[in-house]
Structure 1
Amino acid sequence: MLEPVTLAHVAQEAGVSPSTVSRILNGTANVTPEKRARVEAVIARLNFRPNPQAQALANGRSLSIGVITPSLNSTFYGEALAGVEAVLNDTPYHPLVISGQWRPEREQEALDILLLRRVDALILMGGILDDAILERVAQRVPLVAMGRDVRGLSENCIVMDNAGGMRVIVTHLLHLGHRRFAYLTGAERQQDAVERRDAFIATLEQAGVTVPDALIESGDYTEEGGRLAAERLLDSGHSFTALCCANDQMALGARLTLYRRGIRVPEDVSLTGFDDVITSSLMTPPLTTVRQAIYDMGEVAARAALNLLRGERVSMQVFTPELIVRESTHPPGGARRLTRPSEVSL
Structure 2
Amino acid sequence: MDSSPSLSRPKSEPATVQDVARLAGVSPATVSRILTGSARVAEDKRRAVEAAIQKLKFRPNLSARGLRSGSTHTIGVLTQELESPYFANAVKGVDEGLTGSGYTPIVVPGHWNPDEESERVALLTARKVDALIVLGGRLSDARLAELAQQLPVATIGRRTEAAGVFSFYQDQVEGARLATAHLIALGHRRIAHIAGPSAQVDGQERKDGFMLAHRQAGLSVDPALIVEGDFMESGGIAAMESLLGAGHRFTAVFCANDQSLWGAKLVLHRRGMRVPDDLSLVGFDDLPQSKYMTPPVTAVRQHTFAMGQAAAWALLNALGREMDDPAPTVPAIQLEVRETTGPCHEPA
Interval of TM-score (by shorter of Structure 1 and Structure 2): 0.7 to 0.9
171-180 or 231-240, larger mean C-alpha shift: 231-240
Q: Confirm or deny that 1:72 pairs with 2:82.
A: yes
User: Could you tell me whether the CA contact under 8 Å between 1:157 and 1:317 is conserved in 2?
Assistant: no
User: Could you tell me whether the CA contact under 8 Å between 1:157 and 1:315 is conserved in 2?
Assistant: no
Aligned counterpart, 1:40: none
Q: 1:57 to 1:114 in 2, by over 3 A?
A: farther
Instruction: Describe the SS at the equivalent of 1:299.
Output: helix
Q: Confirm or deny that 1:208 pairs with 2:218.
A: yes
TM-score for the superposition, normalised by structure 2: 0.74
Aligned counterpart, 1:308: 318
Give runs of aligned pairs for residues 175-254 of structure 1, distance below 5 A: 175-254=185-264
Give runs of aligned pairs for residues 99-118 of structure 1, distance below 5 A: 99-118=109-128
Q: CA deviation at 1:315?
A: 10
> Aligned letter for 2:112?
W
> Aligned letter for 1:106?
E
Aligned counterpart, 2:152: 142
Q: CA deviation at 1:317?
A: 7.2
User: Could you tell me whether the CA contact under 8 Å between 1:155 and 1:315 is conserved in 2?
Assistant: no
Q: Confirm or deny that 1:264 pairs with 2:274.
A: yes
User: Could you tell me whether the CA contact under 8 Å between 1:186 and 1:246 is conserved in 2?
Assistant: yes
User: In the alignment, which of 337, 343, 347 is matched to residue 325 of structure 1?
Assistant: 337
Instruction: Describe the SS at the equivalent of 1:102.
Output: coil
Q: CA deviation at 1:60?
A: 3.2
191-200 or 276-285, larger mean C-alpha shift: 191-200
> Aligned letter for 2:271?
R
Could you say which structure has the larger radius of gyration? 1
Name the Cα RMSD after superposition: 2.5
Write the distance in 2 (CA, Å) between the matches of 1:321 and 1:191.
Answer: 17
Write the distance in 2 (CA, Å) between the matches of 1:92 and 1:299.
Answer: 15
Q: 1:276 to 1:69 in 2, by over 3 A?
A: same
Deviation string, structure 1 residues 125-148 (Cα, Å, up to 9, x no partner): 111222222222222221101111
User: Could you tell me whether the CA contact under 8 Å between 1:157 and 1:316 is conserved in 2?
Assistant: no
Write the distance in 2 (CA, Å) between the matches of 1:196 and 1:141.
Answer: 32
Q: 1:57 to 1:239 in 2, by over 3 A?
A: farther
Structure 2: segments with no counterpart, 5+ residues: 1-64
Q: 1:98 to 1:258 in 2, by over 3 A?
A: same
Q: Confirm or deny that 1:298 pairs with 2:312.
A: no
> Aligned letter for 2:172?
N
User: Could you tell me whether the CA contact under 8 Å between 2:299 and 2:336 is conserved in 1?
Assistant: yes
Structure 1: segments with no counterpart, 5+ residues: 1-54, 336-346
User: In the alignment, which of 303, 323, 346 is matched to residue 334 of structure 1?
Assistant: 346
Aligned counterpart, 1:6: none
Write the distance in 2 (CA, Å) between the matches of 1:239 and 1:316.
Answer: 45
Q: CA deviation at 1:316?
A: 12
Q: CA deviation at 1:182?
A: 0.9
TM-score for the superposition, normalised by structure 1: 0.75
User: Could you tell me whether the CA contact under 8 Å between 1:181 and 1:215 is conserved in 2?
Assistant: yes
Percent identity between the two aligned chains: 44
Number of equivalent positions: 280
Aligned counterpart, 2:133: 123
User: Could you tell me whether the CA contact under 8 Å between 1:56 and 1:63 is conserved in 2?
Assistant: no
Deviation string, structure 1 residues 167-203 (Cα, Å, up to 9, x no partner): 2211111110000011122233333222211111111
User: Could you tell me whether the CA contact under 8 Å between 1:99 and 1:107 is conserved in 2?
Assistant: yes
User: In the alignment, which of 156, 164, 182 is matched to residue 172 of structure 1?
Assistant: 182
User: Could you tell me whether the CA contact under 8 Å between 1:162 and 1:195 is conserved in 2?
Assistant: yes
Write the distance in 2 (CA, Å) between the matches of 1:109 and 1:293.
Answer: 29
Aligned counterpart, 2:289: 279
> Aligned letter for 2:282?
T
Instruction: Describe the SS at the equivalent of 1:211.
Output: coil
User: Could you tell me whether the CA contact under 8 Å between 1:66 and 1:119 is conserved in 2?
Assistant: yes
Write the distance in 2 (CA, Å) between the matches of 1:315 and 1:146.
Answer: 16
Q: CA deviation at 1:73?
A: 1.0
Write the distance in 1 (CA, Å) between the matches of 2:191 and 2:148.
Answer: 41
Q: 1:213 to 1:317 in 2, by over 3 A?
A: farther
User: Could you tell me whether the CA contact under 8 Å between 1:159 and 1:317 is conserved in 2?
Assistant: no
User: Could you tell me whether the CA contact under 8 Å between 1:245 and 1:273 is conserved in 2?
Assistant: yes
User: Could you tell me whether the CA contact under 8 Å between 1:245 and 1:272 is conserved in 2?
Assistant: yes
User: Could you tell me whether the CA contact under 8 Å between 1:285 and 1:327 is conserved in 2?
Assistant: yes
Q: CA deviation at 1:219?
A: 2.0
Instruction: Describe the SS at the equivalent of 1:279.
Output: helix
